[in-house]
Amino acid sequence: MKRLLMLAAIICLANASGSCNETKEEKSITKEVRFQKEGELTLTKTSNDSVVATLEIEIAEGEYETQTGLMYRKSMQDDRGMLFIFDDEIRRSFYMKNTEFALDIIFINSENEIVNIQKNAQPLDQTSLPSAAPAKYVLEVNAGLCDKWTLEAGDRIEWNRL
């Protein structure tokens, strides 16, 4: 009986030391968030009524989606954006906590008119970035695109949900 116990202990030790030499696969506990096209949006210059960009948009509405936004994503294509839709039109403030790439944040009133733009908001920065006037919508696009498109207050958006 003593020999049987000794043999069992040796087998257990051999199995335990063998598993220590195996490479263990690391698994991510967070799932990658992927873009889901939920609508289309057009940006128009008011000065000459020309379309400067057409984007595929993901829509954030409701408390969880508007609080999370583009957090925990690594990047976004230049032909995409996230449109935040709110029930009311008030002065808004955004920040970049847990957002890993720079953005231009466009504040838009209920008449679909841009009221102001916070350009080049830096990743992971918790500084408050406010609207200059009440806004019902907020559009986030990659940093630098507003300059490329020469967007400014008074320009307009049109959008539709798919």
160 — pLDDT class (breaks 50, 70, 90)? very high
Q: 108 lies in a domain?
A: yes
Q: Domain with 145 in it: what CATH number?
A: 2.60.120.1140
Task: Provide the domain count of the chain.
Answer: 1
78 — pLDDT class (breaks 50, 70, 90)? very high
31 — pLDDT class (breaks 50, 70, 90)? low
pTM for this model (two decimals) = 0.81
The parent domain of residue 90 ranges over 36-161
Instruction: Report the C-alpha gap between 128 and 159 in whole angstroms.
Output: 27
Q: Which of 111, 121, 114 is nearest to 139 (CA)?
A: 114
Q: 104 lies in a domain?
A: yes
Q: Which helix (H) or strand (E) holds 64?
A: helix 63-68
